[in-house]
Structure 1
Amino acid sequence: MSGESPEKDLNSAGSIRFGDFVYAVETGELLDETGHPVHLRHQSSEVLAFLVDRMGETVSKDDLFDNVWARKAVTDDSLSQCIADIRRALNDADHKIVQTIPKKGYRLVPTSSSGEVPPTAWLSKVARMGGPRIAVFGLIAAVALVFVAFWGLGREQHASSEDLPLPSKPSIAVLAFEDLSVGPDANYLSDAIAEGIIVDLSRYSELFVIARNSSFSFRDSTTDVSKISRALGVRYLLEGSQQKSGSQLRVTVQLIDAIEGRSLWSHVYNSDLGDVFAMQDEIVQRTVATVAQRVINFEGQKAIRSDEAKLTALLLHWKARQHLFSFTPEGNEKARLSNLAAIEADPTQPYGYVGLTFVHINRYRWGWTDEDLIVELDAARRYARKAVQVAPEYYDAHTAMAYMHIQEGELGKSVARFRKALDLNPNDTSAMAALAEALTYGGRAEEAEDLMLRVVRLDPLHQDWIKWNLAWVQWHTRNCDDALETMNGMSEIPPMAYRVLAIIQMCRGNKDEARKAVEQLISFDPEYSLQDVLHNYEGKYVIDADLERVLNDLREAGLPE
């Protein structure tokens, strides 16, 4: 006997299928449908390999820290980034492949297998139980599959005549928070927190938010979340609880997809009651920023996989956002087409015009076009004006116009317009991050860094472009060690972001690493040069020395003239 378990022997050969992807067990590579390796950061690959080795089992965070990081001091965020990286590589937006088991860990569930590897590791355990047990297990599995099929195909038709249909917008209800404290003031503070979240979520015109009276009517109810969602006609529920102990308060919040019956996000806030109003505002702002972006991003990922003919203008716009954030010419073109479809679906809505503003700005800034660059800038300006004209009270329309002003070198107008967007929606972290860019060009990098750190605090589940922006700002403040750590926190560095990585490495004195970053940039665009950088920043920097520092660092790192 070799001493290895039968399960380990089974996992030593063959391949495992995850949707359109295949994991080659022998080489430890994740392959796409064409057989090409899918890029994963080293640590993410290690996490995936460990989950594959224990496929079908619930693997705790401690197990992953002990085996992947070898007990090195790392934060939960490092693991979260790896899990997000794996899910992104597998197109697992629904978390059906890499499942989160609340308070326990993660479980990897493949779709099918080939070679010698069974569909899941737990099947090999069942096989060792013996024939009768397999028969019973097979019957249970068959019943489960029938149930899943019925639920998946029929959930749109299962509602009773009293159930409300889902609105066209992503819909959410904030339930009354459960107060686990005792005393005469029970429920008052929890109601204030929940009501504050309702008010601030309502600022997002993309969301359909149930009013307080209806959502609070389920207080002390034992009704399950699926019934509440049907009664209110919403997909998402935010529930929470609070408990006071002396001068300390613990507030727990959880975002639930009631249709799928799973938790999308949860967080625990521990605060001092010394300044109760500041504490309340902090919890409300951080929760709203996270929940709103979580729902928006989740809906956008679903939209990519949906039938365009059935999407509203808003969902088409969100689909475009997901493509836009790939920061590639191909993604930008897909975003352009989706936003044009959004306008065609409903030209009275601002969403497509907002999206096209950013599409044409990308074409202007990065040269992703066959048109004259001035034509692209004019197109961006035209769409930004149309967005504000169609929806003067829509915060994102003003963000688009503000970003347009940055390209024109009108920093004063840009900052004022960003302030307008944030007046309309104080929790819009995307507007805050873009404002930080304008402040940096204006020679106010320290102020911009403080603002970016606030963005990260308000939106802990922020997208990678936020890290890119923060690292760029940190380079300007010469906080380059933190800038490198920020860049390394990205699940995948977009091609154009290697430009920022190069100047960060130069700032840290790592010329060899800076040259490698420039090589990555040139491999993506062989004709990219300092002239392209100059075009990208021309007329934006108030302090000439800041622009010269960028150009000199990239020149030393090997970017051609």
Structure 2
Amino acid sequence: MAYILITGSLFFGFLAGLVPPKRIGRLRYLFEDYALDTDRRELYRATDVIVVTPQVFDLLDYLIRNRERVVSKDDLINSVWNGRIVSDTALTTRLNAVRGAIGDSGEKQRFIKTLPRKGFRFVGQVQEVRDVAAPNPDDAPQSAPALPDRPSIAVLPFANMSGDPEQEYFADGMVDEITTALSRFKGLFVIARNSSFTFKGKAVDIKEVGRRLGVRYVLEGEVRKASGKVRITGRLINAATGTHIWADRFERDMTDIFALQDEFTLAVVSAIRPKLVQAEIALASRRRPEDLTAYDLFLRALQQVGPSTREGLAEGLRLIHRALELYPRFAAAAALAGACHAENVVRNYTTEPQFEREEALRLMRLALGLDDGDPDTLASAALVSALLVGGCETEIEMSDRAVHLNPNSYRAWHCKGWVLKIAGQPEEAIRSFERAMRMSPVDPETFAALTGLGFALIELHRFDEAIVAAKRAQRLNPYYPGPYRCLASAFAHLGRDAEAREAAAHMLEVDPDFTISAWIDRSQLSKTAKMLIEGFRKAGLPE
């Protein structure tokens, strides 16, 4: 998964309308993590607006604009105070305020250097950006590409802030890697590199980029290499509104350049994909009911089923079936419906378990028949089959194929972890769960991966680690019974009987119909959960 590039246009007219208005864009100065927006008269650091007085802003603006030379005290006074009498103390106070606003000081002088008896000079490296103003309608193409019915994104060339033209390859390589990683998510519409790179070296208006490329989101950023370190700043922007959805910066030591690219790509992709989904869900929620499409219904269903509550799954299934009525070949919706029916069985939310089992398997077969090349669909189908059918050889092959198709998919690794746990391979399951959480550390499903991790750790007699994982899961979703089951079993194995009974009591509050025998009958998970079940009995859970 805000920064400063909220774009717009300025129009400067000429007297009596004798000359057509010249289209001039907003001017911004970028330096390190800071941005000076001359149109909004705002100073930013990453996502935060730094509050400064008008005189402090004007001093910084003047120093940056005249960074090619040393400016004297008289220059500053004439520009900022219009030649009024200003004491040296007042000027020093304002300069110190400028330095403080940008993380500088009179001792460090990283940005503003004092030259005794000469004046001052802004010595920080600056990128000057002037947004392209709104185009003349006569110059615009007749029509822009229609927005796809799924999240659409363009990754613009990252600006090279290193001051070394030879480092362009590193910045371009980062964009290539991120574009390729995003394109592996079939639920995303990603603009090809060649189109995005037509904007390289140009000052752009993000809204115009979105219109010309037909995308809702734009990712942009800067790369800086200096003194053996690399810093990358990225921003995800809603191109329709200019608002920022996500921004972050990453800094590492420069060692292996290709390993570093992989690390940054993973960090960026894992951060922005959940933000894209959340933004799309929010957009769907704001639409009027009569505007709903199959895809909007699918997004709303995702929001409902995420916490895995009885009511949420029921509402999610209602929305998904409406989506499938509108678009019967919607593979992702069919897979989600199958997963919901399987959840109803595993969570004991149904009075018709046999019907739910059959529906889960039918819908997964339908999803695979519609699209057997989608890694998330493959992963979900593998997990549902492992839970409800068992065997697992075929399911492991499907899971392997899913992560091969998209090694950046949280869901593919998450489902593979559960499949391996069900198959009786807890060590491999742990590696998959850990890989999933590394893919997407803020994913809404993390509580489920942590629960699976805890179950696997219990089978390996690593009870203390299981408790840590389960407590994290419980904090993320206190209404999910899995973490309490894990805690009850692990505490019991450690002889911490009071804590085991307390966890068991919490679990029965969430799942009041739980019995050990019913849990064993519900899914194949129990077949390789000997230590977990033994812990249930030690904790005094009902047979």
TM-score (norm 1): 0.66
Q: Is the 8 A contact 2:281 2:303 kept in 1?
A: yes
The residue type paired with residue 388 of structure 1 is L
Aligned-partner Cα distance in 2 for 1:101–1:509: 49
Aligned-partner Cα distance in 2 for 1:479–1:190: 43
**Residue 524 to residue 265, structure 1, CA distance change in 2 (3 Å):** same
Instruction: For residue 255 of structure 2, give the secondary structure of its aligned residue in structure 1.
Output: helix
User: What is the aligned counterpart of 1:384 among 354, 364, 377?
Assistant: 364
Q: Is the 8 A contact 2:380 2:415 kept in 1?
A: no
Segments of structure 2 that go 5 or more residues without pairing to the other structure are: 1-44, 51-139
Is 2:309 the counterpart of 1:321? no
Partner residue, 2:376: 396
Is 2:530 the counterpart of 1:548? yes
Instruction: For residue 338 of structure 1, give the secondary structure of its aligned residue in structure 2.
Output: helix
**Residue 301 to residue 367, structure 1, CA distance change in 2 (3 Å):** farther
Partner residue, 1:255: 236
1:495 Cα deviation (Å)? 3.4
The residue type paired with residue 305 of structure 2 is L
Aligned-partner Cα distance in 2 for 1:302–1:330: 23
Aligned-partner Cα distance in 2 for 1:508–1:256: 50
1:391 Cα deviation (Å)? 1.3
Q: Is the 8 A contact 2:467 2:486 kept in 1?
A: no
Question: Residues 426-485 of structure 1, C-alpha deviation per residue, up to 9 Å, x if partnerless?
Answer: 211111011111222333222222222222222122223333333333434444444433
1:173 Cα deviation (Å)? 1.0
Q: Is the 8 A contact 1:405 1:413 kept in 2?
A: no
Partner residue, 1:151: none
Aligned-partner Cα distance in 2 for 1:104–1:513: 47
Q: Is the 8 A contact 2:455 2:532 kept in 1?
A: no
**Residue 548 to residue 451, structure 1, CA distance change in 2 (3 Å):** closer
Aligned-partner Cα distance in 2 for 1:520–1:536: 21
Is 2:480 the counterpart of 1:495? yes
Is 2:47 the counterpart of 1:102? yes
The residue type paired with residue 448 of structure 2 is W
Work out the number of aligned pairs and report it: 404
Aligned-partner Cα distance in 2 for 1:306–1:482: 44
**Residue 525 to residue 540, structure 1, CA distance change in 2 (3 Å):** closer
| Bigger mean CA deviation after superposition, 480-489 or 175-184 | 480-489
The residue type paired with residue 314 of structure 2 is E
1:130-149 superposed matches below 5 A: none
Q: Is the 8 A contact 1:193 1:284 kept in 2?
A: yes
Instruction: For residue 180 of structure 2, give the secondary structure of its aligned residue in structure 1.
Output: helix
1:347 Cα deviation (Å)? 0.9
Aligned-partner Cα distance in 1 for 2:151–2:435: 26
Q: Is the 8 A contact 1:361 1:404 kept in 2?
A: yes
Aligned-partner Cα distance in 2 for 1:525–1:470: 21
Is 2:183 the counterpart of 1:202? yes
**Residue 269 to residue 475, structure 1, CA distance change in 2 (3 Å):** farther
Aligned-partner Cα distance in 2 for 1:194–1:379: 42
| Bigger mean CA deviation after superposition, 394-403 or 459-468 | 459-468
1:264 Cα deviation (Å)? 2.5
Partner residue, 1:466: 449
Q: Is the 8 A contact 1:409 1:540 kept in 2?
A: no
Aligned-partner Cα distance in 1 for 2:350–2:305: 15
Instruction: For residue 148 of structure 2, give the secondary structure of its aligned residue in structure 1.
Output: coil
Q: Is the 8 A contact 1:294 1:461 kept in 2?
A: no
| Bigger mean CA deviation after superposition, 353-362 or 479-488 | 479-488
TM-score (norm 2): 0.68
Work out the percentage of aligned pairs sharing the same amino acid. Answer: 28
Aligned-partner Cα distance in 2 for 1:465–1:333: 19
Aligned-partner Cα distance in 1 for 2:332–2:292: 13
The residue type paired with residue 506 of structure 1 is A
Is 2:274 the counterpart of 1:293? yes
Partner residue, 1:360: 341
User: What is the aligned counterpart of 1:405 among 377, 385, 392?
Assistant: 385
Q: Is the 8 A contact 1:287 1:458 kept in 2?
A: no
Question: Residues 69-115 of structure 1, C-alpha deviation per residue, up to 9 Å, x if partnerless?
Answer: xxxxxxxxxxxxxxxxxxxxxxxxxxxxxxx992479xxxxxxxxxx
The residue type paired with residue 102 of structure 1 is T
The residue type paired with residue 205 of structure 1 is K
Aligned-partner Cα distance in 2 for 1:201–1:399: 18
Partner residue, 1:456: 437
Instruction: For residue 423 of structure 1, give the secondary structure of its aligned residue in structure 2.
Output: helix
Partner residue, 2:16: none
The residue type paired with residue 360 of structure 2 is A
Q: Is the 8 A contact 1:402 1:418 kept in 2?
A: yes
Partner residue, 1:35: none
The residue type paired with residue 502 of structure 1 is A
Larger Rg: 2
**Residue 378 to residue 189, structure 1, CA distance change in 2 (3 Å):** same
The residue type paired with residue 210 of structure 1 is I
Aligned-partner Cα distance in 1 for 2:509–2:421: 29
Partner residue, 2:419: 438
Aligned-partner Cα distance in 2 for 1:460–1:168: 27
Aligned-partner Cα distance in 2 for 1:342–1:172: 24
Question: Residues 134-164 of structure 1, C-alpha deviation per residue, up to 9 Å, x if partnerless?
Answer: xxxxxxxxxxxxxxxxxxxxxxxxx996655
Instruction: For residue 531 of structure 1, give the secondary structure of its aligned residue in structure 2.
Output: helix
Partner residue, 1:559: 541
Q: Is the 8 A contact 2:488 2:539 kept in 1?
A: yes
Question: Residues 296-354 of structure 1, C-alpha deviation per residue, up to 9 Å, x if partnerless?
Answer: 23323443454454233233222212211221111111111111111112112202210
1:184 Cα deviation (Å)? 4.2
Partner residue, 1:236: 217
Q: Is the 8 A contact 1:364 1:377 kept in 2?
A: yes
The residue type paired with residue 468 of structure 2 is E
Aligned-partner Cα distance in 2 for 1:218–1:524: 54
Aligned-partner Cα distance in 2 for 1:264–1:516: 41
Aligned-partner Cα distance in 2 for 1:212–1:436: 33
**Residue 468 to residue 284, structure 1, CA distance change in 2 (3 Å):** same
Q: Is the 8 A contact 1:290 1:461 kept in 2?
A: yes
**Residue 472 to residue 319, structure 1, CA distance change in 2 (3 Å):** farther
Q: Is the 8 A contact 2:174 2:265 kept in 1?
A: yes
Q: Is the 8 A contact 1:403 1:414 kept in 2?
A: yes
Is 2:418 the counterpart of 1:418? no
| Bigger mean CA deviation after superposition, 481-490 or 425-434 | 481-490
**Residue 394 to residue 312, structure 1, CA distance change in 2 (3 Å):** farther
Partner residue, 2:173: 192
1:119-138 superposed matches below 5 A: none
Aligned-partner Cα distance in 2 for 1:519–1:500: 13
1:537 Cα deviation (Å)? 4.4
The residue type paired with residue 496 of structure 2 is N
Segments of structure 1 that go 5 or more residues without pairing to the other structure are: 1-99, 106-158
1:357 Cα deviation (Å)? 1.0
Q: Is the 8 A contact 1:495 1:520 kept in 2?
A: no
Partner residue, 1:10: none
Instruction: For residue 172 of structure 1, give the secondary structure of its aligned residue in structure 2.
Output: strand
Is 2:518 the counterpart of 1:532? yes
Q: Is the 8 A contact 2:386 2:524 kept in 1?
A: no
Q: Is the 8 A contact 2:479 2:510 kept in 1?
A: no
**Residue 161 to residue 404, structure 1, CA distance change in 2 (3 Å):** same
| Bigger mean CA deviation after superposition, 313-322 or 338-347 | 313-322
Instruction: For residue 320 of structure 1, give the secondary structure of its aligned residue in structure 2.
Output: helix
Instruction: For residue 427 of structure 1, give the secondary structure of its aligned residue in structure 2.
Output: coil
Partner residue, 2:313: 332
**Residue 428 to residue 539, structure 1, CA distance change in 2 (3 Å):** closer
**Residue 504 to residue 466, structure 1, CA distance change in 2 (3 Å):** same
| Bigger mean CA deviation after superposition, 516-525 or 382-391 | 516-525
**Residue 101 to residue 177, structure 1, CA distance change in 2 (3 Å):** closer
Partner residue, 2:507: 521
1:183 Cα deviation (Å)? 2.8
